[in-house]
Structure 1
Amino acid sequence: MSKIYNWAVLGCGKIAKKFVNDLKLLPNAKLYAAASRDLNRAQDFANELGFEKAYGSYKEMVKDPNVDVVYIATPHSHHFEHTMLCLEHKKAVLCEKAFAMNQHEVAQMIQCAKENNTFLMEAFWTMFQPSFQKALEIINSGELGKLKMVRSDFAFNAEFNEEKRLYNVKLGGGSLLDIGIYPVFAALSTLGVPDLIKTSADFSSTGSEESIQMIFKYKGGEMASLSSSFAVHSPVQSEFCCEKGYVILHPRWFTPTDLTVWKGDEERKLIPNETKEGAGYQYEAKHVMECLDSGLIESPKMTWKMSEDLIQTLDRIRIDAGIFFPNHDEKLFF
């Protein structure tokens, strides 16, 4: 019988609510504490979703000895600060992507997890979707030959509001860290770290990047064409093009979804989505508790190396595109 884990949520926004609704599907997950800088917000969140406690202070929450694992769902700009706070109090951490604002912050987070012998994982839920895992299995099997090209997109037309997170550079605003990270992940998890990166970006009036096109080039001739935007709608799918066929993850490709496989002259085969309940966040939460059951401080699936490769690639993209975040990028750009 698996241990029952007391979960705390740090940051009571929309993503946290979606995550918690899926957490309810797991019998060994207990909704224990909700924490916000605003006690009323924490209490409303706790009452609505069924948490046992509510805290109006993050520092107060991490001092609670009954908290086993913390899901961090604050803006990108605060991930480093909040992750370090939890790790220093030896609370296991599942932190939303982007893991932090740059590679220097991520390196410190990982070092802190090691020093405190405490679990840390980036909440990249796509890695744990059955549909994405099936796509990886087919690609890695070699049955379609060598993977040569990846095409992946994520875009939607967002309402412009200079105060909201999506367009606020102080909060890590811009499409890249919010949604462009998904296409980048699709390329990294299949083709690996690119040898060459070329970008073209368009910026909003707040200085945040609104749309970006990214081309990855590899020494073996492989390529990836990736895009994200807050200005248009896109299919939101990923195509993995191999020598003998292809795999398509259908919209919305990073969630539980259908996939199509085609090989040579064979008929295209549709593999239907097998997730019957939940939005798909339950898979990463289940994995976290399995890691804790085994005494691990690092996930064997969403490894620290993967998170390092991801943030370093995002940094390279930002340098090429000229995407700058005040108070975070002094070491990165200067």
Structure 2
Amino acid sequence: MSKIYNWAVLGCGKIANKFVNDLKLLPNARLYAAASRDLNRAQDFANDLGFEKAYGSYSEMVEDTNVDVVYIATPHSHHFEHTMLCLTHKKAVLCEKAFAMNQHEVAQMIECAKENNIFLMEAFWTMFQPSYQKALEIINSGELGKLKMVRSDFAFNAEFNEDKRLYNVKLGGGSLLDIGIYPVFAALSTLGVPDLIKSSADFSPTGSEESIQLIFKYKNGEMASLSSSFAVHSPVQSEFCCENGYVILHPRWFTPTDLTVWKDGDEQQLIPNETKEGAGYQYEAKHVMECLDAELIESPKMTWKMSEDLIKTLDRIRIDAGIFFPDHDEKLFY
């Protein structure tokens, strides 16, 4: 019988709301504490979703000895600060992506988890979706031959507001770290770290990157074509093209979705989405608690190396494209 874990949420925004609604599906998860810099906001969030406690400061929440694990859902510009706060107070951490702003911050976060012997994982929920796992199973089986090309996109036409997170450079604004991270993940989790990266970016009036196109090239001829944007709408799907067939993850491919599989000489096969309830966040939360049950400090599925490869690749893209965050990047460009 699994232990009942007291969950705390650090940052009471929209993504936290979605995550908590799925957390309710897990019998070994207790909604214990909600924390915000604004006590009224924390209380409203706690009352709406059924948390036992509300805190008006993050530092007060991590002092609560009853908190077992913290889900960090603040803007990624603050992930390093908030993760370090939780880890140094011996709280297990599930931190939203992007894990941090650059590889130097991520390296310190992982080192802190090791030093404190505390669980830390990037909340890359796509890795845990049954549909994505099925796609990986088919690709890795070799039944379609060698994977040679990945095409993946994520774009939507966002309202321009220079103060809101999407366009605010101080909050890590830009499509790459917010949604472009998904297509980058699709390439890394199937083809691995690219040997060559070419990028082309367009910037908003605030200086934030608004749209980006990426080409990844690999030494054995594999390629990936990736894109993200806040200026247009796109199909939001991923295609994995192999020597003898292909796998397509249908629109909103990073969530529970349908798959189409085609093998040369056969008819297309539709594999329907098997998720019947929830948005899909429950899978990563379930995995976290399984890791805690096993007394692990690192996930065997969303490993620290995967997070390091991801952030290092994002750093390489930003250097190539000229995407700069002055409050974080002193060591990145020099």
TM-score range normalised by the length of the shorter chain: over 0.9
Please report how far the alpha carbon of residue 326 of structure 1 lies from its aligned counterpart in structure 2 after TM superposition. 1.3
Partner of 1:154: 154
Q: Equivalent residue for 1:276?
A: 276
3-state secondary structure, aligned to 2:82: helix
SS at match of 2:191: coil
Query: 1-side partners of 2:327 and 2:33: how far apart?
Result: 31
Q: 2 CA distance for matches of 1:280 and 1:327? A: 33
The SS at the match of 2:95 is strand
SS of 1:329's partner is coil
Deviation at 1:151, TM superposition (A): 0.0
What is the aligned residue count?
A: 334
Gaps of 5+ in 2: none
Q: CA-to-partner distance for each residue in 1:139-181, whole Å, 9 max, x for gaps?
A: 0000000000000000000000000000000000000000000
> How far has the Cα of 1:313 moved from its partner?
0.1
Which residue in the other structure is 1:170 paired with? 170
Structure 1: unaligned runs, 5 residues or longer: none
| TM norm structure 2 | 1.00
**Deviations, residues 168-218 of structure 1 (Å, cap 9, x unaligned):** 000000000000000000000000000000000000000000000000000
CA displacement at 1:80 relative to structure 2 = 0.1
Q: Following the alignment from structure 1 to structure 2, what is the Cα–Cα distance between the partners of residues 251 and 50?
A: 32
What secondary structure is seen at the aligned counterpart in 1 of 2:331? helix
Cα offset for 1:327? 1.2
Give 3-state SS (helix, strand or coil) of 1:319's partner. helix
Cα distance in 1 for residues equivalent to 2:137 and 2:196: 26
Q: Supply the distance in 2 between the matched residues of 1:83 and 1:74 (Cα, whole angstroms).
A: 10
CA distances 1:233-287 after superposition (whole Å, capped 9, x unpaired): 0000000000000000001100000000000010000000000000000000000
> What's the CA shift string for 1:106-161, capped at 9, x where partnerless?
00000000000000000000000000000000000000000000000000000000
* Cα deviation, residue 330, structure 1: 0.6
Deviations 1:288-319 (A, max 9, x none): 00000000000000000000000000000000
Percent of aligned positions with the same letter in both sequences? 92
The residue aligned with 1:315 is 315
Whole-angstrom distance in 2 between the partners of 1:184 and 1:211? 14
Partners of 2:90 and 2:140 in 1: CA distance:
37
**Structure 1-normalised TM-score?**
1.00
Over the residues paired in the alignment, what is the CA RMSD in angstroms? Answer: 0.2
Q: Which runs of structure 1 show a deviation greater than 3 angstroms over 4 or more consecutive aligned residues? A: none
